[in-house]
Amino acid sequence: MSEFSGINNFGSLISKTSGQKISYDDLKEYDKNENGTIESSELSKAIKELQLDSVSFTKIDSNGDKSLSEDEFKLWEQKLEIQDAVNEKLQTVYDNAVLSKYFSQIKNELKTFMNSFISEYKGDTSNMVTEFKTQLESQFNTIKEEKLNNDPNFILNGVLDEMQASMLTEKDSSGNILSPTEVQVVLEGMEKVANNYIKTYKGSNLKTDLKAYLEEFFSKSDKEKLTDAANNFNNKVKDFGGYLSSNDFSQIKDAVKEFLQTAIEKGVVVKLGETNVASASAITSALAQFTDARSLMDAMKTTIEGLSSEPKKTQLVNNARAKLEQEEWKKFAGIKGSQYQINAGLIDYSKIPGYAKNEEAFYVKGAGKHGAREGAAKWLQDNLKEQCWKQIVEMLEKQGVSPEKAKTVFENVFSASSVEAAEQCVDGQHSTVFRSSKSWAYAKDLTDACLQIFNGKIATAIDEMNASYEDMDIIDIDFTVIDQTQDEEGNTTGAVKDGSGEAVAGLEEGETLADAYKTGKVLSVKKRGAEYYVTVAEQMVNGLRSQMLSKAKAMCSANGIKFDLGKFTAMFNSAKSIAVSLAVTGVTSEGESFGGMAASTMGSAVAVAGGGVGITAATYGLGSIATGIGAGATVSTVATVEAISALTGPVGIGIMSAVAIASAFLFGGHHSESNLDVRLLIDTFTESFKNNYSEWVKQEKSNAQNT
């Protein structure tokens, strides 16, 4: 664009030589004939020597006597102020991206207005500038609005500004306010669609029509936009029978063409066969793929069924979030797992009770070694976790990464480490006829074991999680949600209850299922039926549905695979069944064992005893579960005699039968019992779902690459 050039009808009184404003006395020095006025030739000489902008003498010689009096000079000053006021307005036009294209038109209109005002002004000269500025403001706005109200770009910017203001307070389907970044992504998508709409617009009220179009385009899904078109197509072809003639083919092609034209008008890009149809020319290419009516009918059925049910705005926001998440992941993934390891030398051991002298962290009577496991894990949670987390926070902040990114990972790994340390360090004696049970653990042993285990697990967990953005990671799952159940859409429907709608048995007062997961507690209840915990376990797994759904969608997006809700649901329910079957065990009132492991061996690490006490197998942490998911599971027991935990196969069954007989002899019959290994349930489910879903995505990706 050329340099700004405003109106210059009246020259100027600013000297380019001195930079000062010239007064009438300054001009009188050029009054050579000393008649008290400045004549045309005298003014011309002054303008030349003082380097003033030139002016036509007739424009300042108000009475036409060919001389400039002092009163005419004062009027000239007024005209120059008016000229400056006009040029200030023109400068705003010149600087405005939309208005600048109308600069010449607006300049001419304001010039005409200014000259008319000056020539027609009859009032007091001292008020002339003030009155002009008042009229100028109104006149300028009228001229500007006339130009802008018919300018597509201005209208578009106004509509987008309105929609931006609305979106900044708008909530998504999860109740979250859209961030400025997400809103900007949607606006960019809107601008592109709007420009295409404006190019072909033939109406008379662009602002109203454009806003309505954008609201419909981005708030409705493709399926909603094309519902009428799809119904119209189906009605036109519903009477065609099994045999389709060439005439039928022609009619079907016409119906397909009509549907595709509607899709283009609605701004919906559909895929027919192998062709994406986004323009009129693409319709011809798409129809050319088909040589018979049946294949075209089948392709249209696939097209209609494949229409997205997700609003365009939601798609754009989700894409923006995925992009932002990937950027954050790359930043997070740059930190190696070893950097998360705890420096034992920086732990303040004076804050850990009994550490210095390796005193007993606790000593419990009436609870065997297994029963004390959760107590030892809780002791580590209370006395060591905070210092470990503080070290990780400091490390992440130095790297410019939000600690919240690793919070859930840390919680899960520390929880697993505390349970494993408890397994390793708790010692005790079981009750016999001659002595009562007791258990104990030492502070230093527990602390040191937990730190060592944690450092190994956290390094592995972080490195595995950061290995690829395309994988599904489960180490960062928030397990606190297992206390709340969800429906198939991931909506929370209430707290987990047992089959009778009562609070879950086996929890202490104030204890949650998430607490039981952290400490590795096995819930147990008698006389309530061997299957008592089945409903509870299913609800707990359902509480993870929303997170698993999000991870499944993200994995599909990262791998370029279309998400399939049916596949997700089937795999979710399958993994849930496996986990519940493994984690819920018990004894029926007839003394028969209950659970997925009953009367069989699962893997090489699990055997079930016949007398009603089952042996469970689980990996507390990131390892695999002994259900065929992988190897390396550790064996634990819910029996009252720990020695049984080493028994497998028929020998174990025989010994357990003997225990059952002794129990019946001493206590007069069988009583039902139900057990739920919370950690085994959740770890089995997540590992099983992850492995199965990952295999499906891998296969889908391979199929897509081969087609």
Tens digits of residue pLDDT in 189-243: 888 888 888 888 888 888 899 999 888 888 889 999 999 999 999 998 887 766 6
Residue 320: inside a domain: no
Query: In this structure, what DSSP letter does residue 23 have?
Result: P
Least confident of 42-51, 483-492, 520-529, 679-688: 483-492
Rg (CA), the chain: 41
List the Cα angle 345/347/351 in 5-degree steps.
Answer: 145
Can you spell out the DSSP letters for 415-474? HHHHHHHHHHH-EEE---SS---EEEEEHHHHHHHHHHHHHHHHHHHHHHHTS-TTS---
Within this chain, do residues 130 and 180 fall inside the same structural domain, yes or no? no
Lowest mean pLDDT among 174-188, 410-424, 498-512, 618-632: 618-632
Cα(532)–Cα(334) distance, integer angstroms = 46
pLDDT of residue 132: 95
Are residues 555 and 659 both part of a single domain? yes
Determine, yes or no, domain membership for 329: no
> Do both 226 and 361 map to the same domain?
no
Tell me which H or E stretch contains 442.
strand 438-442
- pLDDT given at position 486: 84
Closest residue by Cα to residue 413 from 365, 461, 448, 446: 461
Residue 374 CA to residue 520 CA, distance in Å, equals 6
Same domain, residue pair 509 and 554: yes
Based on the fold, state whether residues 249 and 210 are members of the same structural domain: no
Residue that wins the pLDDT comparison between 373 and 79: 79
Report, as an integer, the average pLDDT of 515-543: 91
Beta-bridged to residue 441, according to DSSP, are 362
Res. 601: pLDDT tops 80: no
If you count DSSP H runs as helices and E runs as strands, how many of each does the chain have, helices first? 24, 17
| CA 367 – CA 378 distance, rounded (Å) | 15
Mean pLDDT of 402-414: 89
Q: Do residue 166 and residue 192 come from a single domain?
A: yes
- Is residue 159 within 8 A of residue 194, CB to CB? The reply is yes
Chosen domain end from 148, 163, 189: 148
Q: Which residue spans within 343-405 are E strands per DSSP?
A: 360-365
Cα 298 from Cα 295, distance rounded (Å): 5
- The pLDDT of 554-582, averaged and rounded, is 90
d(CA 505, CA 180): 47
Whether the per-residue pLDDT at 631 is higher than 80: the answer is no
Three-state SS for 529? Answer: coil
Note the pLDDT of residue 646.
Answer: 29
Q: Is residue 386 part of a domain?
A: yes
| Whether 537 and 433 share a structural domain | no
User: Given pLDDT bands bounded at 50, 70 and 90, which one contains residue 287?
Assistant: very high
Average pLDDT score, the chain = 82
> At which residue do the structure tokens 């708790």 appear?
426
Q: Is 403 exposed, middle or buried (0-12, 13-18, 19+ CB in 10 A)?
A: middle
If we measure between CA atoms, which residue out of 68, 81, 167, 72 comes closest to residue 127?
Answer: 81
Rounded mean pLDDT, 372-388: 90
Q: Cβ contacts of residue 527 below 8 Å, gap of 6+?
A: 671, 672, 673
DSSP state of 503: P
Give the integer Cα–Cα distance in Å for 665 and 659: 10
Predicted confidence (pLDDT) at residue 286 exceeds the cutoff of 60: yes
> What are the DSSP E strand ranges found in 216-358?
270-272, 275-277
pLDDT at 585 over 70: yes
CA–chain centroid gap for 267, Å, is 25
State the sign of the Cα–Cα–Cα–Cα dihedral 574, 578, 579, 584: positive
What is the token pair recorded at 278?
């986004």
Task: State the pLDDT at residue 664.
Answer: 37
For residue 173, is it within any domain?
Answer: yes
H-helix or E-strand spanning residue 18: none
Least confident of 49-58, 335-344, 655-664, 667-676: 655-664
Are 237 and 104 members of one domain? no
**584 and 524 share one domain:** yes
Instruction: Please determine, for residue 64, whether its predicted confidence score (pLDDT) is greater than 70.
Output: yes
More confident call, 301 vs 636: 301
In the chain, the number of structural domains is 5
β strands within 102-243, DSSP E: none
Whether 201 contacts 234, CB under 8 Å:
no
Whether 434 is covered by a domain: the verdict is yes
Return the residue matching tokens 């697990």. Answer: 457
> Do 226 and 298 sit in the same domain of this protein?
yes
pLDDT tens digit sequence for 347-357? 999 999 999 99
Proportion of the chain above pLDDT 90, given as a percent = 42
676 has which bridge partners?
A: 523, 584
In a domain, 422, yes or no: yes
Instruction: Identify the domain boundary among 190, 219, 248.
Output: 219
Question: Are β-strands 492-495 and 522-526 bridged in parallel, bridged antiparallel, or unpaired?
Answer: unpaired
For residue range 293-309, list pLDDT tens digits in order: 888 988 999 999 989 88
On the question of pLDDT at 180 being above 90, the answer is no
SS3 at position 270: strand
Model confidence pLDDT, tens digit, residues 453-480: 999 999 998 888 777 767 888 888 888 8
Place of tokens 């606006």: 187
> How far is 132 from 51, CA to CA, in rounded Å?
28
- In a domain, residue 389? The reply is yes
CA angle 363, 365, 366 (to 5 degrees): 145
pTM: 0.49
The structure tokens listed for 480 are 């606190």
Does 14 fall in a domain?
Answer: no
Q: In this structure, are 123 and 157 located in the same domain?
A: no
Paired residues of 587 in beta bridges: 593, 673
Confidence at residue 562, expressed as pLDDT on a 0 to 100 scale: 84
User: Residue 624: what pLDDT?
Assistant: 32
| Same domain flag for 564 and 701 | yes
Helix (H, G, I), strand (E, B), or coil: what is residue 36? Answer: coil
Whether the CB-CB separation of 649 and 601 falls below 8 Å is answered with: yes
- Residue 59 φ/ψ region, left for φ over 0, alpha for ψ in the -120 to 50 degree band, beta for the rest: alpha
Q: Is the dihedral of CA 148, 153, 154, 158 positive or negative?
A: positive
- Domain residues for the domain of 231 are 222-310
CA–centroid distance for 251 within its chain: 45
Distance of CA 613 to the CA centre of its chain: 46
Q: Does 647 score more than 70 pLDDT? A: no
Query: Can you give the three-state secondary structure of 563-579, one letter per residue?
Result: CCHHHHHHHHHHHHHHH
Residue 618 has pLDDT above 70, yes or no: no
| pLDDT per residue as tens digits for the range 3-41 | 888 999 999 999 988 889 999 999 988 888 888 889 999
Which of 175, 194, 219 finishes a domain?
A: 219
Give me the residue label for tokens 């296969």: 699
Residue 669 pLDDT more than 70?
no
